[in-house]
Amino acid sequence: MHYIPASSPPKALDVQAFASENGVLDGVDGLEHYPRLTSDQFKPDEASQLSAQIKVHWHAEGELRTVSVAAHQVWLHLGAQVALPMTCQRCLKTVALPVEAKQSFRFVSSEQQAESEDDDAEEDLLVLTKHFDLHALVEDELLLAIPMVPMHDVCPEPQVFAAQDPDFELQEAAAPHPFAVLASLKVKKH
Ligand SMILES: [Zn+2]
């Protein structure tokens, strides 16, 4: 096992060499290095403020898997987590949503090979390169792991309709009970 400390995922990783030495890389990186994770949710100044304190935890392992005496497969196992600030779709306040990605990739020698094997393979296929952008892969995988509708488990404030109409409860309390109306009609008959 080969351990290399790092903070940002490398942007030019020799995948074959990494797998051959059973390489392990992991680190804790600032969210500000992942602009695609915040650009949809926040204005640029808001995003940079938030992302200064938020960290992306990532981990990568290389594996050379022996298929037969003469054949090896190049694998990369990736994990990444971040508590991503997003806008809750119920109360519209910020929620720090735990986003977690975990995926294994098998590297093949060409785009054609990836296309021809893709239908049969359960794992994701990528094309082998000496300059693989692991940083972009971490960002891609976290983007894919973001829930479609981000929400608090329990929102910190009352529901929006009640907050917008302070008279809501008062009006309901002031409305006469139907039986009370009937009773007053009976009284008028006498
Ligand atoms: Zn909420």
pLDDT one-digit tens code per residue, 43-93: 656 666 666 788 999 999 999 999 888 889 999 999 999 998 888 899 988
The reported pTM is 0.74
The domain in which residue 18 lies consists of 2-156
**Residues 40 and 86 sit within 8 Å (Cβ to Cβ):** no
Give the phi and the psi of residue 50 in degrees, each rounded to 5.
-65, -45
Ligand 1 center–CA 80 separation, angstroms: 24
* Cα of 95 from ligand 1 centre, angstroms: 7
Distance 96 CA to ligand 1 centre (A): 10
Distance (Å) from CA 148 to ligand 1 centroid:
14
> With bands split at pLDDT 50, 70 and 90, how would you rate the model's confidence at 189?
very low
Distance 162 CA to ligand 1 centre (A): 14
**Residue 132 belongs to a domain:** yes
Q: 3-state class of 101 per DSSP?
A: strand
Q: Is residue 32 part of a domain?
A: yes
Specify if 190 maps to a domain: no
DSSP 173: H
189: in domain: no
In a domain, 187, yes or no: no
Query: Looking at residue 166, what is its pLDDT?
Result: 54
Residue 139 belongs to some domain of the structure? yes
* Total domain count, the chain: 1
Q: Is position 22 within any domain?
A: yes
pLDDT digits (tens, 9 = 90+) for 143-180: 999 988 999 999 986 655 555 555 555 544 555 555 55
User: What pLDDT is attached to residue 1?
Assistant: 47
Tokens standing for residue 21 = 């030495």
CA of 98: how far to CAs of 29, 41, 42, 153, in Å?
A: 16, 15, 17, 12
